[in-house]
Amino acid sequence: MDDAANPPRRELRIGDTAPNFRARSTAGPLAMKDYRGKWVVMFSHPADFTPVCTSEFIAFAKAAPQFAALDCELMALSVDSLFSHFAWIRAIRDRFGVEVRFPIIEDPTLVVGRAYGMVADDATDAGAVRSVFVIDPEGTVRATSCYPVEIGRSVKEVLRMVAALQAADRRKGLAPEGWQPGDALLAQPQPTIDTVFAADDIVAWFLSEEGQGAADG
């Protein structure tokens, strides 16, 4: 096969439009385009009935009301069949008392995984994939992350990322390291010579709190 004639599919990047798809899920048929107007956290997991994935799904399910408060929908995806998804979430409910109500998409042919760059074009399975895509109401990918199969993701960090993006959009500010809802944002720097010379100190022109310390809740 001529590699030049068949270039590899690149990974989905921040700023790209999230590809549309239609698929079966535990919540019924869904299409990505139907989620326009809402924030979406779409995440993949290597396989049902695995220890790390089970811990993640318990945490995502418990945090679902917090995501809903941000008008953010959750959706998960793996190569497992719809029937496997159902059996797994039933086991989670019966053993841990946690109901996974957000949709889990079946992707046995890897069509969605490849469209999102989660899976290489020549891969035969998605067993090593643990990706997250944060998608805004316009359908634009705003943040991504990818973890190895051995390491579970922090659901608190995914929640913080959505809240930080929303706060930064709303206030046109910047979220510093470790930002949490209720913390102040940083101001967008104004790189002009007048701003630099008029600043109160040598860093204030590029590093100061937005609105002189105004907080965002």
What does the pLDDT look like over 45-96, one tens digit per residue? 999 999 999 999 999 999 999 999 999 999 999 999 999 999 999 999 999 9
Residues in the chain: 217
* 21, 115 Cβ separation under 8 angstroms: yes
3 state SS of 15:
coil
Catalytic residue among 32, 53, 72, 185: 53
CA distance 59 to 102: 12
CATH class assigned to 22-155: alpha beta
Mean pLDDT by 10 residues, the chain (217 residues): 44 93 97 97 95 98 98 96 97 98 94 85 65 97 94 97 97 95 93 86 88 45
* 184, 215 Cβ separation under 8 angstroms: yes
53 belongs to the catalytic site: yes
For the chain, domain boundaries: 22-155, 172-217
* 31, 20 Cβ separation under 8 angstroms: yes
* 165, 143 Cβ separation under 8 angstroms: yes
